[in-house]
Each structure stands twice: as structure tokens, then as C-alpha cells.
Amino acid sequence: MSNILWIQNGRVIDPANDRDANGDIYAVDGMIVDQLSDVQKAAAEIIDAKGLVVSPGFVDIHVHFREPGQTHKETIATGSRAAAAGGFTSVVCMPNTSPAADNPGTIQRIKDSAARNSVVHLYTTGTITVGRQGKELAPIGSLNQAGVVAITDDGDCVQSNALMRRAAEYATMFDLPLMDHCQDSSMTEGSVMNEGLMSLKLGLKGWPSAAEDIIVSRNVIISRQTGAKIHMQHISSAESVEILREAKAAGIAVSGEATPHHLYFTDDNLENYDTHFKMNPPLRSKRDQEALIAGLLDGTIDCIATDHAPHTDYEKDCEFDYAPFGILGLETALAASLEVLYHSGKTDLKTFLGWMTHKPCALVKLPRETGTLRAGCVADITLFDPNEAWTVGDTFQSKSKNSPWIGMTLRGKVKRTIVAGETVWDGAQIVNRDSGKC
């Protein structure tokens, strides 16, 4: 008997196909179909989505699941459950694992674990350089054959311009996007927060936004010279947004992402030295925050990505200078982003969902079409209530709980996450595909 799904009465929003209307969605054996026969309707699992938005499953092209080597923080199993709870059906994992994902063997190890343990579609990136050391190129052709969807030294920006240019030339040969964590490390040694009035007040070493702007500019020049697709990760600076805007206007193949935390918070939130607000790049000024929002609205910034970066409580529970950079992002991404962009009246739901569905898909080399509810595509579907208020607790599907939103009330609640036609999150807990709830 086929696995048949019939989602009824929802507000179906599919930005890739310019659809926003009340209607039904059908799936057979994990694939979207236009219609069901009478026989299929009689056998279908029916989900009443009245009062809910039915959207393509969310796609996050920037997560850290810490496996292999850092499984005290997160695993593919726990990270994928956090993704499902946040409405994400596809994620792209960064290669800053231990060992680094700089060879086909490590890539296969990650893919094997994902096949056993992930409840969502999980894609891998490979490194740009061996060991993410910035000294010699990783075997980019072999990584491409192993199935990576992009290359990046995420967390350690390639400092050598010559090496980055060579990486861009090789990546272009294989039609692989380059994703870059834009940071001139010579300007940020020992820095822990944005350079500005608040860093002076707190007595913490400031991190100039110019450290980002310089690398964004470098990448624009390299993309123009080589034709490489270079994606700027977690843009945080107003000047970087403007550089990206001018580059796109000139037809250069660059792109960028913004995180929910850079959209939601500013460096003023660090006034109590709370390490849950310590991240890389750091939270910046109100001016920078407004520039990020404007960049999304005018298309300069292409998508929202979480930079989900789990750390243990004991790692974060120390002096601000010594705490690691990074916060959780997956389980609060929808609500936090809705607060800033939709509930504020800055945009509509269809535009908003484009930044979390089909637009990120276009930036990486995904092996299947995702981010749409078009017939013939995989039935990855998220149901959510954009108006339901909830208070962020201190328990997560993630193995860690380093979230700055703990205790805050947000609006926007994921009610069901469906991967390949099967429910993996029922609004309260993960659903085991084989044996029910787990």
C-alpha cells in the first residue's frame, strides 16, 4: 500500500511558484502530486491544517552538528531533531569537525551517520584547505566526487588571497560554490564583541566591522576575476551589505546570508556580560542591524541561515573573554525571524518564506530539488502558526542549550514537520518513522 498524505484546509504558501491561497496538498510515496484518486483519498492520512500555514520545508545552509569529534556538544541525531523541531527539512553541515571534513573518507563517515541517525535531509560541505589551516588546498575534485554541496573553511577564513583565488578557480571547474566566513584575523586577535560604545563601556576588546568588510571586498574581486560563486556567510556589517549590493548590481556571482540573531539582537544586549550573546561575527550596532534588514528586503542578502552552533553549559559558564563563540539557532529561527520581519510589518509571509525555502537552495549544490511544493518534488513540508505565542524554555531537542532567547516570548510555532511524506515532528516531540514516538 502506498504512503498517501492529504493536507487539508491550510493556507498554502509556496514562494517558488508564487502560490499563496487556501487549499490542499497531496503526496504519494514521499512525492508531491497534483491530485489523488478517489481510492487514494479513501486510504490517505488526513491532516487538518485549518488556521495554519503550509509551506515547503525550511532549508538551512549553515549548521554545525559537531560530528565527528565534538559529540559532547551535538550529534547528527540531536542536531537533526533540533532542525525538525524548527521546521527545517534540509540542512547543510559545516566541515569544522574533528577531524575536519577535508577528505572523502570523512565526508562518507558523516553521510553514513546521517543515513542512520538524521530525521531530516542532511548535506555536507568540504573544506577549502587541508585541516582548515589555510596553507594548502584540500582535494576539491575528490570532495566534489564525494558529494559535497559547497566548500568552506567556516570558522577560519582563508587569509591568503592567492590561495583563495586558486580555490575559486578549482571550485569553478566543478561548479562548486565557495562559502566564506569573512574575517581578517589580523584585525580581530583577542576580540570578543563588536567594536563600539558598548565594548568601551564593558571593557571588552572590540571587533571592528572592517575585518568583515575587507574580506567581503576581497571575495567580490576574486569572484569577478574567476567567475566563482562565492557566498558570504553570516553577514553582520552595514558596509558589507553595501559592498554586496554594488557587486550584485554589477552582475558579479556573489551572495550572502543573514542570521536570526543578527537580525534580532544588537551589541546592547551584551550589557550584562551574558555569554549566550557571544557569537562570531559579533552582534553589531543598530545601524548594522537595520542594514541587514534592508538588505534582505531589497534582495542584496539572499536568505536566512541560523549558524546553529551548540556548546555545552560548562563551556559557556565562564568569563566572557574565555567563552566560545556561538549559539543555538534552529528551534527559534522561525519565531525570531517572524518577529523582526513579519510581525513588524516589514514584509509579507510569502516573501519571508522565500528566504527560508527555495532561495537558500539556489546557493548550494543540492542533489535534488527542494524548497517547493510543486508536483514531482519531494514532500518536505512544514506546518506552522505564525501568530501562536510561546515562551522559549531551557530544554531543546539539541543536545546543548546555549540560546539567548531563553525566557523570551516569541510568536510563530512549528506544528508539524514532514520529511519525504512522513511526519518527523508533531508539534511536541520527534516521531520515530518506524515505531511511533520516541
Within a domain: 346:
yes
* Statement to judge: residues 70 and 150 lie in one domain: yes
Listing DSSP states for 125-154 in one string gives -B-SBGGG-SSSB--HHHHHHTT-S-B--T
In this predicted structure, the answer to whether residue 435 has a pLDDT above a threshold of 70 is no
Place of cell 551535538: 74
* Statement to judge: residues 102 and 41 lie in one domain: no
Over residues 94-153, the pLDDT tens digits come to 999 999 999 999 999 999 999 999 999 999 999 999 999 999 999 999 999 999 999 999
Can you give the pLDDT at residue 2? 82
* Statement to judge: residues 246 and 314 lie in one domain: yes
- For residues 7 and 50, is the Cβ–Cβ distance under 8 A? no
Over residues 176-185, the pLDDT tens digits come to 999 999 999 9
**What value does the mean pLDDT of the chain take?**
96
- For residues 213 and 240, is the Cβ–Cβ distance under 8 A? yes
- pTM for this entry: 0.97
* Statement to judge: residues 250 and 132 lie in one domain: yes
- For residues 334 and 87, is the Cβ–Cβ distance under 8 A? yes
Can you give the pLDDT at residue 174? 96
Can you give the pLDDT at residue 1? 55
Q: Are strands 254-258 and 19-28 parallel, antiparallel or unpaired?
A: unpaired
Over residues 271-329, the pLDDT tens digits come to 999 999 999 999 999 999 999 999 999 999 999 999 999 999 999 999 999 999 999 99
In this predicted structure, the answer to whether residue 437 has a pLDDT above a threshold of 60 is no
From the candidates 307, 380, 426, 434, which is the catalytic residue?
A: 307
Residue 424: other Cβ atoms inside 10 A:
23
Does a cis peptide bond (omega within 30 degrees of 0) precede residue 68? yes
Strand partners, 413: 385
- Dist CA 153 CA 1 (whole Å): 46
Catalytic residue list contains 434: no
Residue 35: other Cβ atoms inside 10 A:
9
368 or 394, which is more confident?
394
User: 14 vs 21, 100, 155, 371, CA distance in Å?
Assistant: 9, 36, 33, 8
Within a domain: 372:
no
- Dist CA 115 CA 118 (whole Å): 6
Q: Which cell numbers in the block locate residue 7?
A: 493536507
Can you give the pLDDT at residue 433? 58
Q: What is the CATH number of the domain that holds 48?
A: 2.30.40.10
pLDDT above 70 coverage of the chain, percent: 98
* Statement to judge: residues 46 and 61 lie in one domain: no
Of the candidates 109, 111, 105, 163, the residue with the CA atom closest to the CA atom of residue 132: 163
In this predicted structure, the answer to whether residue 358 has a pLDDT above a threshold of 70 is yes
Within a domain: 39:
yes
* Statement to judge: residues 21 and 160 lie in one domain: no
Can you give the pLDDT at residue 365? 87
Within a domain: 370:
no
Q: What is the CATH number of the domain that holds 193?
A: 3.20.20.140
Over residues 267-274, mean pLDDT: 97
- Taking every pair of Cα atoms in the chain, the longest distance, rounded to a whole number of angstroms, is 70
* Statement to judge: residues 100 and 150 lie in one domain: yes
Does a cis peptide bond (omega within 30 degrees of 0) precede residue 56? no
- pLDDT band at residue 432, thresholds of 50, 70 and 90? confident
* Statement to judge: residues 211 and 320 lie in one domain: yes
* Statement to judge: residues 146 and 261 lie in one domain: yes
Can you give the pLDDT at residue 436? 34
Which residue segment(s) compose the domain that 393 sits in?
A: 4-54+377-437
Within a domain: 71:
yes
- For residues 114 and 122, is the Cβ–Cβ distance under 8 A? yes
Q: Which of 335, 361, 387 delimits the end of a domain?
A: 361
C-alpha 184: how far from its chain's center?
23
Within a domain: 367:
no
* Statement to judge: residues 258 and 398 lie in one domain: no
* Statement to judge: residues 32 and 80 lie in one domain: no
* Statement to judge: residues 278 and 425 lie in one domain: no
pLDDT above 90 coverage of the chain, percent: 97
Within a domain: 306:
yes
Listing DSSP states for 12-29 in one string gives EEEGGGTEEEEEEEEEET
Q: Which cell numbers in the block locate residue 91?
A: 540542512
Number of folded domains in the chain?
2
Q: Which of 315, 335, 361 delimits the end of a domain?
A: 361
Within a domain: 410:
yes
Give, in degrees to the nearest 5, the angle at Cα 216 between 322 and 366.
90
Q: Which cell numbers in the block locate residue 236?
A: 553582520
